[in-house]
Structure formats: structure tokens, C-alpha cells
Structure 1
Amino acid sequence: MKKNVAVISLDAYAGQFYAQQVQELFGDRIAVCSYSVRDGSVEHMPRKYDLYMVTTDAFDSLGDMHRYVPIDGEMMEIHVTLRWDVVHRLQALPAGKKVLFVNLSDKMCREAVTRLNQLGVNQLDFDLYHPGAPEPDMSQYDFVITPQETRYVPAGAREIIDIGQRVCDSSTMIEAALRLGFEELLETPEFEQYQRDVAANTYSFDRVFARGLRLESQFEILMEILDEGIVGVNERGEVFASNHKLEEITGIPGARALQRPAAEVYPFVPFARCLAERAPQPAQVVSANGVNMNVAVAPVLRGGACIGAFATVQRFSDAENRQNELRSQLLHKGYRAKYTFDDVVGQSPAIRRCITILKKMSLTQLPVLLIGETGTGKELFAHAVHNASPRADGPFVAINCAAMPENLLESELFGYEEGAFTGARKGGKPGLFEFAHKGTLFLDEVEGMSTALQCKLLRVLQEREIMRVGGNRIVSVDVRIVAATNENLDKMVEEGTFRRDLYYRLNTLPVLIPPLREREGDLLLLIDHFRKGIGASFTLSPELERLLLTHQWRGNIRELRNVVEYFSYTGSPVVGPEELPPTFHYLPAGLPEAGGAGAQPPRLADCPQEDERFVLSRLYQADREGRSLGRDAILADAKAAGLPCSQQEVRRILSALDQAGLARVSRGRGGTRLTPAGRALCRRLETEEKL
């Protein structure tokens, strides 16, 4: 059956050249198509090929590559070299000559010159040039060498040596044959001639082809390359091959196993069943000599007959570690924490205290709940907590729970199996919990999660296990949760919209991120930081500086950054109040926010006015001492004063003050503080001797 092969390269011309080479060597057994990143043809590549051959310069990262190449697709890299006649021609050049090497990119220049050095062309003094590099002084170079890229050679070259396109090396062609299942091609005269024509510095392949490559020799080489134990048996179940990795895992010397029945040497490997059924035996976990191993067996079929079988053996712990490494590589770009506590700008006591507390919490494995208004930098602190934790080398995965529908959020968090729903990816998809294994999962706006998902999340936190959507297999995960909210979870628990058991599970280590208006002295530091970050050079007028210092900043750091960026486009070296954004609504922190000068304490039915005034007086006293006040402290003070206040009554009074704009009831254990309006009301009542 003809196989389909895709060749993906940075440059279209180079890709077509490699595709032609592969097609000529493999003949009518394959159909090859070439795609280029530079000309955009890779954007239209069908996702249907049996093998994807990718040049080393095509993509900058694994994440970029998997935009076009399926994660479950058979993929290999193309490594290139030169023909021997080109190498001999360059070796004949006089020693010490200064040479300019010209290619498409800096990376391609370095790879080519490195390969020339490896092949013995090391008597020349090379400099590199590629499009976009500074123009060189051509008078200092004796020769210009280029792999068929003469169009990029700077003017003034004395002599140009065009060495032609580099060719795929022999190891690339061998790997392609093995991955496509055409092992028999490796013994053909065409492959032998190709090996003789192209230069190689791979000693093992040189020797194999020099002796007339045989199938058994290829397997011997591959077995030693693989990072797992390999053992092969013939049709009688006798061991004829094993590698050193198998010796390391099982402790059984390979020499002692050769020519003996596998049932005696490796009784934990089901060779007999595989040979009898002539069918692969799926991977299973077995224990031998106190070691847990993954064992899988596959038959070797030729001409309809079973001529033997091969087994792969891997330590269970090695397989798990390898899987974790691959998880991290798959989404390397988005699954790494970018910020540390050093990235937090501010010297106010409030932010320093917050950082000190979070640094201590980072060292634990317990969930952290970040509580704060919108724009206070909760995600930055989540990154910093991860980077300061013992899990810093693991993945950091972030998701906004309020940003997607319930069913989509569930499949993102827990993954899904193939066929779980319409449109599900072939082969299924791991969830973010699996990708965050041994790392941190940041749940932003956790209050946006439905009650059904809250229940599933609670089970993960308790059991450290998940099950993919549409699956029936339990997957163990080791994930630390950092959650963030800008809502009052206490209130949501009381209203029944957030599960009480999950709240107490997430609320193990709550931290209140202070709003900007409570970070005294940080405003000007942040303005200077943002100004430098965008390369602006304006200064603030004294009037504007005073206005910004007294503004309430309801959008916090995010609002401040937007204002600074707006200033950078005004074109004024000194920015005044008249150049504030048109959407900027000044809310003075030193004046009442609600009720004006005639504001009064809210009146609640069935609640004595004396109790309301007492709560207000205690908040005013705490405000003057520079601290917040919690419900328990208010209840204790009321009891000491002989007032029969209940906890429910205090909660109602605080809620009414919050709704009237006289106080701010913080989430978690942050307590309650007076607003400027509440502070002004207390001063007036104190003057009137009513407080």
C-alpha cells in the first residue's frame, strides 16, 4: 500500500529539493508533498499523512509545530549533510583562507559550518552571513561559499563557490524507511549507493552499510538507541536478542538469556500467548524482582507467518516521568509561570505584608485562595507562588473558569476520550489536570464554576484522581491548586451558589491582595514602572499628580496601566489634568462616595439603632488605628459592652453599610474597613456627639 509523506521546511525551494530526494529513493512506494512555512503553504496542509518529515529550522517551538502536525502523527526531523565530492573539493582549498559562508538564516549557517568542520573542512576561517545581517566588508574574504543561495551573496565577492543544496543524510533516510515499514529497502543497492555518496560522521551506520546491511543488524542498533528494554524471540520462543537497558531493568545478563526459552528467563513477558494468537499483547503492569514494569509484546509477521515477537519493557516510574516531560513539552509556551515575587512593584506596608505571607505559603502543598478586586494582580501572584514553590520546575497551567461554558470547561479541565461528544478529537485529549501533573493549576474567577463542576473539583482535591469525559479509566494526578476570586465567596456560600465543602477546601490559605488605594506610596512607583516599560518620557504636572494620588482606582493596577499608556500618546512632555482619558471618572478618595454631606447610617427593621451606631463606632476606632475589623471582634466588643448583638445581626449591619457605600466588607478574613464616605459620616456624627 502506497504511503503518504509530507516534507515541511522553512524555505519552499529547500523543501521541494528534499521531497524530490525522498521520492527518488523510495520510488513508487510513497507519494511526497512539500510545504513551506515561509510561503504559508503549511497553513493549508491536510492532516492526513503517514509520516511528517520536518526540517530543524521550520518551527521555533514544539507548540508552533503542533499547530500543523497532529500530536499523534508520526513525525521525524530531517538532518542534512553534503556529498563527498563537495567535501573533497572544499578540503582542497588553501589553509588559512578567510571565507564568508552565506545561507538563509543564522541557524542554517551555523549548522552547515559545524557539519563542514565535523567532516574535516576545518582549515578555513569562516564568517557567517544571512539576509538581514550587517553588510560585510567583502574585500577581506578570499572566497564565498553558499549552498545554492547565490542570490543573497553581497556585492563585491572575489570568488563564489556554490556547493549546491545540502542533502538528507543517511540516518534520515534510514529512519524514514523504518517508520514507514519499509525495512527491506535498507538492503537494496539504491540505499547502499546513497550511503556511499553522502558524507556522514555516524560511525555505526557507516559500518553497517559497509558490511551489507542486514535486518538483524538494524534492530540491534535501534535496540541500543531506545530508552527502554527490548527482547526478541524466534518462532520457537527462544531469545535471540536483548539490549543493555533490559539488563539494567531486570538485572538478568543478556548473555545468559540468549538461545534459552523466554518462558524460563523472562516468565513475566507473555511471549507464548503472543506467538499462539499472532496478535499484539497490550501493555500491562507486572512486577518482577520487586520492580513494577510496563510490558507490551508484538508479533513479527512476514508472508502470513509469525516468525517471532518483540517485547518492550519499561520501569513504571520511568514511563511516568517520561510522560510528565512530554506533557510539559507539548504546551511549553503556555504552561510555564512567567513572573516571580521580584516582578511585584511596590514598597507599601500592605503589599510587602502580602508578599511575605505568600512566600511562606508557597513552600507548602496546600491550596491558596487569592482574594482581591479586579485588576489587583491576582494572576501575577499565582505565577509567583508557583515559582517560589517546590513545584517550580513543573508546569504552571492557568484557566479562567468564568470564560467558557460548563461543558467546554469540563472537557478542558478533565480531558475527554475519543468519541465522547460530537467534534471530539481523534484519540481524545488530556485535560489541564493531566498537563499540570507535578505542577500548579491556577483557577481564575473560580466562582464562575457551576455547582456540578464544583463537585468534580472537590473530588479531585480529595482523591487526587480524575476521569476523562466519556472515559472509564482513573488517572492519578498530583496538582497544587491556586484559586482566585473577586467575589464574596462567603456570601455565595450562604446563598447556595458555591459549595460550602469546596469553599473550605480552597480557603485553606486565603490571602487578600490589597487594592491600589490601600497601597500608600506605590502609585508613583507603578506609574514610573509602566512609563519605562512602554518607552515613554512624559512627566506629571503637580496638579495631575495630586489628582491621581486621591483617586480611588476602582480598576486598580489595570486601570492605572491603561491611563499611563494613554498619557504616552498625548505627545505632551508634561501631562496635566486636561489630558486625562475621556473615560476617566474621578472618584476622590478623601470625599464621601455615597450620601454626600447629609449621609446617615442605614436603618434596618428589627435592629436597634444603638447596635448600628455601636458597629459604626467600632469600625471608626479601628480605622483610626489603621486596621480592619472582623465580625468576631465586633461581637466580642459588643458582649463586653453589654449589648445583646447576634452574629446574624452584625452581618446584616455590615452588609447594609457596604451597600450604602459606607464600608467595604472584604472577602475571607480581610475584615471590614470604612470607606472615605463612612469616615466622613463618622467624623460628622462625632462632631454632633451622636457617635
Structure 2
Amino acid sequence: MIVIKKITLITLTKSALMFYAEQIKSLFGDLVTIYAYSISESPLTSVEKADAFVVSTDAFNSISDYERIIPPDIPRVEISVDFTKENIKTLMNIKKDTCVYLVNFSETMARESNTRLSQLGVNHINFIPYFPGAKTVESCKFAVTIGEMKYVPPGAETVIDLGHRVLSSATIVELALRLKLDYLLESEKFKEYFNSIVSSNYSFNQLFGRSLNMESQFEILMEIIDAGIIGVNEDNIIFAYNSKAVEITGFSRELVIDRAADLNFPFLPFAECRLTSKKITNKLVKFRGIDINFTVAPVIRGNKYIGAFATIQKFTDEESKQHNLRMQLLNKGHKAKYNFYDIIGESDSIKRACTIAKKMAKNNSAVLITGESGTGKELFAHAIHNESKRSMYPFIAINCAAMPDNLLESELFGYEDGSFTGAKKGGKLGLFEFAHKGSIFLDEVEGMSPALQIKLLRVIQEGEIMRVGGNKIISVDVRIIAASNESLENLVGDGTFRSDLYYRLNTLPIEIPPLRERHEDIMLLFDNIKNKLGGRLELSSQVKDAFMSHSWNGNVRELHNYVEYLTYLDKEYIEYDDLPSSFHKGLSSSKINESTNDLDINLLKKLAGNRMDDYIFVLKTLYDGYINRQNVGRLSIAEKAQSSGNYLTQQEVRNILCDLNSLGLIKMSTGRGGSKINEKGIKAYNNLKPIG
């Protein structure tokens, strides 16, 4: 009696679903029944139970969704796809150096297809990955799409549709093994299918050709499996030893076959497995300097031990697979975007900062980037990651001051199922886990609470985290790149930042110079930003002089805003009067009236340094509040600063208020009481405010 096998097929799109279902049916025929589900068609709440689940990992938003839908005791086959030989033949007929759009439904899929074609030797075409939202290139008139004709740019005059990529040989073989239909692999239908697919690591055509001379089908499967296999008989004498095992251990077959297992592999507990007749799973050992993960399973027939099999893998290979799965479930978006060549500047100070950063990129220690708001700290963080050995792994950026403390903790460290009200069913992986082997950028790190600072210190020192609500230690390998526009050293002195964490972060310090100290870079940056925005304006000599003498308290971010403003004026020649009013409001400290008799203005100037305009702005805001009989808090000051082009964060406002309070110019209230200017402060403001 023939037993019909059930297959549950799950993909993201309906077109891919129908394509893969047709492929599987054409190979396995009436031996299988397929239940097909498309996530994009309708939310997936339950699925038909089957003998095997064939799943496209991009169909799920998270690991918890994946595990919730698919029963853990049912065999799973993750879909991998590849190009056919006919696809490659078609592409090889395209002329060398032709500009060709490579069209797919997302940036990740377009770039992944490009990489795969390069691996397969299609390197003569100038491919431009294209996807919804991508920019077109005017000179490019040729397009190749992977079954996504609706996304082809309208300017393409010649279009080749390769169709959906087919299920890879590995996927088909694994499915046959899961369904216990492996005898089909020798059939002509399967041989023809395997022969039609391009592969860069092994040829199934050659594999099946050699299999004719092998003693059994068992040996064929041994060579297909992507893990080292070592088999022993009832006396623990090795009789099976595949090529992957040779690659991992470095021992040839001649040294191993027909010898006792403990002679060459004393770390494999075959003797224990023989005594207990129990499976020994997921053990990690070091063998010849390599970390190896192994499992030993007994073979029992008629309640009698007749041998055992060990599967061995390099731990790094297993980690790589886990990493790829994590990245697929993380929407594949966490990559560093910028390199050091994206940092514009010819000044000695910016060149020196880049030189130091490049040297530090080669190290794995924590990096602390300091500098005023808008100087480009995140740009440096991206460049450091891309220059490092971790560049092929995730780069994740998060602003520590942008979210409440408990939310920040759950984002960074993840949480277990039911750990708090509103927690996602099944829990959630934290960003430290997603960033494993890569880098995590903690912007405005001073915004972390003392409790979170302690947890971050443990990550740096021990490389360990614990999820919120969990009790399991998880090891992570993550490089910390932190940034602050405050003096962490001063915050340590104030007791608001832990000294031990500061010294850990400050292992490799980089200070980004403010724009006012990079005069020779101002016009370079102006031209660069103008070109990116598509502007065609020119500045009068008076405007250029004004730019060169401006205080640039908002640094490059402020410059970008002014260039954007001037671009939208749609004028070819910019005069001084065209500059926005916010540009004229800030006056340098040289214009301050120092004639007061009641206050040591020089002390305030020394305290404020080159940020005197910001101090005057805060005093003015408090003075306006006094006139209107209103208390003024940090948030309202920061909002008014932003609307007037002064670009002050709440933390910067707090520091200024503390300085003014220490000089006796204002009175700070605890809680939500805000701050008030006093008589002494009003007198100081009247002497400091711009004249005229």
C-alpha cells in the first residue's frame, strides 16, 4: 500500500507559493499532497499538520511567529533557491560592461541575487540592483528581473525575465530525506532536475555519476549531508566516515576506517552511548585547536545496541547558520551605510580624527566617540564598523536617550514570554543578540539609567546578557561603539554616570571637532550637500564671509538645514538678505556688552566658552517666561531652540541651567517646577543681549 505524504508549504508571496508547489509536485508526483499557504494573502493562525513543513523564512516577522505556527516535532525544510543553467546561459549572452538593472521586490533580494550571480561567474555585466523606491540611472536601458516584471523601471527598453529562481538541489534532497522518499533521488527525473541547476560548491550530476560505483545508497546520502558523520559498529570500530568529517578533523579515511573510535576521536563518547543506549546531544569540545559541536546517537535493533553515529560540525559553521537565520528574521536591514570616504573634509582636525578612527577600527575594544551635536558621530560609527573585521556582520544603532528606560532595556536585552504586561507571546530577541559578531552603536549613552549602565558594563566585561524576565545567561560577541555630546568625565564627577563604565567605554576615545574649528571644510561640505540635494545655486562673497564667521552651534546638521533652505528658494544666486532670520539671530561672544558692574561677565564667558550664544538664548527664554509669569522647563527650552535654529538637546539645556544656577542667575526647581530667572539674572541678560 502506498502512503501519501503530506507537505505544508508556506511562503510570503502567492506567486512564489504556486511556483514552488508546482516544482515539488512535478518531482514527487502522486506520492505527496501539498497544503499551500501565502502569508501576504491572509494572516496565518494555524496550518494543516503534515509529514514535513517547507518554509520560506522571509514569510515570518520573528522567530517567535515561526515557532508558534510550526510544530516543533514536525520535520522542517527551509527553502533555498538557485539559478538554472539556462538562466546563466541567457545572461552570458549579454555584452560585456552593459549597464543592467537587476530587478527584485526588495533591496535585500536584489543585492542577494547580484551576489549569487557574481559567485556563479556572471561578472561581465554592470548590474545595478533595482527595487521599489530605488533611484534610476538615466543611461541604463536594460533590465533583468527575477520574476518581478511589475517592478521593472519604466525607462528600461530591453527586459529579460528569468522567472522565479528554482528550489535548490539541497532543498529537494533534504525534503526527500525528511519524507523518507530518498530512493527517488536515483530516478531520472531527479537527476535531470539536479543537472539543470547551477551550483558553485558541488555538482549533483557528478555526485550521481560517482554513486553508481558506490556500494550502497547509504554512502550517497553520507556525502550529501552537510555535517561530519562518523559511524561505528557494536564494537565501536569505525565503518563510516564522510568527506565532511575528513574536512573537519583533518584525518584521512585510511587513518580512521576499521580502527577503534577512541584511537583518533577520544572526545566522542561512543563507549558511554553503548553503555546507556541513550542519545548524547549538543556537546562542545576543542579538538586540534578547533571548537567542535557533536551529537552521538545509538542505533538500536531488537533492544540491542548495534552501533552509533556521531554528527560533528565546526562551532563557527553552526554559528554562521544561526546568524543568517537571525538576520532573515530581523528584516535584513541592519547594515552600516557609510565609509570613511563619506566623511568630507580637508582640515587637519578632521583628517586626524579619521586617521585615529581607522586605526581603532582594527581593534575589538569599545570605542567612545565624543563631540557636539551634529558633528557626525554616527557617521564615524558606521565607518568604523565597515573598516573593521566585523563588517560582514550586523551594525545596529540605537539612541539611548530617545526612549523610556524600561523600553530601552527590553530592546537591548530582549525579554522572555510573559515577562511584563504587553510582552509579545514567545518573547523577543534583544538587539545585543541580533548584533552577535557585529557592532552596536549606543548614541547619547549618557541617557542610560544607572541600572542599565550596570548591565551594559557586564556586556563589555563578560560578553554576557540575560533577557528581561529570564534566568539564562546568553553569550554574545558584540563590539560597543558609544557616543556622547556631553563630557562623560564631568558626569562621572557629578555622580550621574558610573566611573567603571566610563573607563571601559573610554578604551579607544575619538573626539570629533566642531564645524567652527574646520573653516576650510565649510564650503567643501556646502558643495557636497548642495550636490546631493540637486541644488544649482551660487553664494555671493558676502554670504560666503557670513558662513565662514558663523558660530555653527548646530555644526554640520545646521549647515545642512541652511543649504536645504537655500536650495528650496530656487534662486541661482544667493545674497545676504536671502539667509533665514535664524542665521542672523545668533551673535558671537565678541559682540557681548561687558559693561555690567553687578556680575563678573568674564566668569560666565569662561564657563560658556564658544557656546555663549546658547547661554544667552536660555537666559532670554527664561526672561520671556518671567515677563509672561510662566515657569520654563528643559523640554520647552529645547523645543524653542529647535524652532529658532539653535539645536539644543534637553541634556545640553540641563547643563546650561546648572551653570547659570551655580552663578546665581536663575533658580532651578526640582521635579516639574521648571526654572526661573532672578533679579541678578535679568540684569545679566540686559547686559548680554544683542545690541540694536
Whether these two folds match at TM > 0.5 is: yes
Letter in 1 for 2:80: E
Q: Match for 2:183: what amino acid?
A: E
CA shift, 1:452, in A, is 0.5
Matches within 5 A, 1:171-186: 172-178=171-177, 181-183=178-180, 185-186=181-182
Structure 1 stretch 298-307 or stretch 238-247: which is displaced more?
Answer: 298-307
Shift of residue 16, structure 1, vs aligned partner: 1.8
Question: Quick check: 2:11–2:59 contact (8 Å CA) kept in 1?
Answer: no
Q: In structure 2, what residue type is equivalent to 1:51?
A: F
8 Å contact from structure 2 (residues 77, 171) kept in 1: no
Match of 1:5 among 8, 12, 36: 8
**Pairing partner for 1:192 from 187, 190, 208:** 187
Change (3 A) 1:273 1:32: farther
Q: Is the 1:170–1:200 contact (alpha carbons within 8 Å) kept by the matching residues of 2?
A: no
Percent identical among aligned pairs is: 41
* Contact 1:400–1:446 under 8 Å retained in 2: yes
- Distance in 2 (CA, whole Å) between partners of 1:232 and 1:430 is 37
Q: In the TM superposition, what is the alpha-carbon distance from 1:485 to its structure 2 partner?
A: 1.1
Per-residue CA deviations over 1:478-532 (Å, capped at 9, x if unaligned) read 5443221123434433443222322233234444323323332332222111011
Tell me if structure 2 keeps the 8 A contact 1:597–1:681: yes
Note if contact 1:386-1:392 (Cα within 8 Å) is conserved in structure 2: yes
Output the CA distance in 2 between the equivalents of 1:167 and 1:351.
50
Cα gap change, 1:34 to 1:483, in 2 (>3 Å): same
Report the equivalent of 1:499.
498
What's the offset of the Cα at 1:614?
Answer: 8.3
In structure 2, what is the Cα distance between the partners aligned to 1:135 and 1:377?
A: 38
**Equivalent residue number for residue 512 of structure 1:** 511
Aligned partner of 1:207 in structure 2 is 209
Letter in 2 for 1:31: I
Give the equivalent residue in structure 2 for 1:16. Answer: 18
Map of 2:53 onto structure 1:
51
Partners of 2:392 and 2:168 in 1: CA distance: 36
Amino acid at match of 1:203: N
Structure 1 window deviating more from structure 2 (548-557 vs 25-34): it is: 25-34
Write the deviation string for residues 117-172 of structure 1: whole angstroms up to 9, x where unpaired: x9xxxxxxxxxxx9998599xxxxxxxxx99x9xx9xxxxxxxxx99999767665
Indicate the residue corresponding to 1:664 in structure 2.
Answer: none
Three-state SS of the structure 2 residue aligned to 1:564 is helix
* Aligned amino acid, residue 563 of structure 1: Y
Range 321-330 or range 69-78, more displaced: 321-330
Q: Is the 8 A contact 1:369 1:483 kept in 2?
A: yes
Conservation of the 8 A alpha-carbon contact between 1:170 and 1:194: no
Distance (Å, rounded) in 2 between the aligned partners of 1:80 and 1:368: 42
Structure 2 residue aligned with 1:466: 465
Q: Which residue of 2 aligns with 1:220?
A: 222
1:573 paired with 2:572, answer: yes
Counterpart for residue 637 of structure 1:
none
* Amino acid of the structure 2 residue aligned with 1:6: L
1:157 maps to what in 2?
Answer: none
Which amino acid letter does the alignment assign opposite residue 551 of structure 2?
Q
Cα drift, residue 219 of structure 1: 2.2
Asked whether the equivalents of residues 374 and 557 of structure 2 are also in contact (C-alpha less than 8 Å), the reply is yes
CA change 1:21–1:319 in 2 (3 A) is: closer
Q: Which residue of 2 aligns with 1:446?
A: 445
Deviation digits for residues 359-414 of structure 1, max 9, x if unmatched?
55555554332222221111112223344556556654322212233333334333
Alignment-derived partner of residue 486 in structure 2? 487
Distance 1:660 1:575 in 2: 44
Change (3 A) 1:328 1:659: farther
- Shift of the alpha carbon at 1:27? 4.2
After the TM superposition, which residues 227-306 of structure 1 pair with which residues of structure 2 at under 5 Å, given as runs?
Answer: 228-233=227-232, 239-250=238-249, 253-255=252-254, 257-258=256-257, 262=261, 266-271=265-270, 273-274=272-273, 279-286=278-285, 292-299=291-298
Larger radius of gyration: 1
Aligned residues: 561
Match of 1:456 in 2: 455
Q: Determine the C-alpha separation between the residues in 2 that align with 1:508 and 1:199.
A: 54
Once residues 30 and 307 of structure 2 are traced to their aligned partners in structure 1, the CA distance between those partners, rounded to angstroms, is 29
SS at match of 1:375: coil
Q: Check 1:660–1:29 CA distance in 2 against 1; reply closer, same or farther (3 A cut).
A: farther
Alignment of 1:532-681 (within 5 A): 532-577=531-576, 579-580=578-579, 586-589=585-588, 592=591, 596=593, 598-599=595-596, 602=599, 655-656=659-660
* Cα offset, 1:283, TM superposition: 1.1
SS at match of 2:516: helix
RMSD: 5.6
The 5-angstrom pairing of residues 102-121 of structure 1 reads none
1:52-451 equivalences under 5 Å are 52=54, 67=61, 74-79=77-82, 134=141, 172-178=171-177, 181-183=178-180, 185-187=181-183, 192=187, 194-195=189-190, 198=193, 200=195, 202-204=204-206, 206-207=208-209, 215-223=217-225, 226=226, 228-233=227-232, 239-250=238-249, 253-255=252-254, 257-258=256-257, 262=261, 266-271=265-270, 273-274=272-273, 279-286=278-285, 292-299=291-298, 309-316=308-315, 334-359=333-358, 361-362=360-361, 365-388=364-387, 395-416=394-415, 431-437=430-436, 439-451=438-450
| Alpha-carbon distance in 1 for matches of 2:272, 2:413 | 36
Structure-2 change in CA distance of 1:242 and 1:415 (3 Å): farther
Q: Structure 1 residues 534 and 15 mapped into 2: Cα distance closer, same or farther (>3 Å)?
A: same
- Write the distance in 1 (CA, Å) between the matches of 2:223 and 2:371: 59
| Structure 1 pair 277–329 and aligned structure 2 pair: CA distance change class (3 A) | same
Instruction: Point out the more displaced range, 516-525 or 74-83.
Output: 74-83
Q: Distance in 2 between matches of 1:652 and 1:557?
A: 22
Label 1:599 to 1:177 Cα distance change in 2 as closer, same or farther (>3 A). farther
How has the CA–CA distance of structure 1 residues 214 and 599 changed in structure 2, closer, same or farther, with 3 Å as cutoff? Answer: farther
Q: Which AA in structure 1 matches 2:22?
A: Q
Partners of 2:552 and 2:281 lie apart in 1 by: 61
CA 30–445 in structure 1, closer or farther in 2 if over 3 Å, else same: farther
Distance 2:434 2:372 in 1: 29
Question: What letter corresponds to residue 182 of structure 1 in structure 2?
Answer: L
Q: Name structure 2 gaps, 5 residues minimum.
A: 68-75, 96-100, 121-129, 153-160, 197-203, 613-654, 666-683
- Matches of 2:656 and 2:83 in 1, distance apart? 75
Asked if the contact 1:169/1:198 (under 8 Å) is kept, the reply is no
Asked if the contact 1:230–1:243 (Cα under 8 Å) also holds between the matched residues in 2, the reply is yes
Q: 1:311 to 1:429 in 2, by over 3 A?
A: farther
CA 1:260–1:403 in 2, change beyond 3 Å: closer, same or farther?
Answer: same
* Structure 2 counterpart of 1:648: none
Secondary structure in structure 1 of the residue aligned to 2:79 = strand
User: Unpaired segments of 5 or more residues in structure 1?
Assistant: 55-61, 84-89, 91-95, 99-103, 119-129, 137-145, 153-161, 604-611, 624-650, 662-677, 683-691
| Corresponding letter in the other structure for 2:209 | R
Alpha-carbon distance between aligned partners in 1 of 2:246 and 2:163, rounded to the nearest angstrom:
46
Q: CA deviation at 1:234?
A: 5.2
Paired residue type of 1:530: I
User: Aligned AA for 2:488?
Assistant: L
CA gap of 1:294–1:355, structure 2 versus 1, over 3 A, is closer
Cα 1:618–1:301, aligned 2, differ >3 Å: closer, same or farther? closer
Question: Is this contact kept in 2: 1:268–1:286, CA < 8 A?
Answer: yes
What CA distance in whole angstroms lies between the structure 2 residues aligned with 1:521 and 1:232? 70
In 2 relative to 1, CA 29–599 (structure 1 residues): closer, same or farther, beyond 3 Å? Answer: farther
1:458 maps to amino acid: L
Alignment deviations for residues 644-675 of structure 1 (CA, whole Å, 9 cap, x no partner): xxxxxxx99994599799xxxxxxxxxxxxxx
Q: How far is 1:449 from its partner? A: 0.8
> What CA distance in whole angstroms lies between the structure 2 residues aligned with 1:380 and 1:166?
37
Q: Is the 8 A contact 2:82 2:167 kept in 1?
A: yes
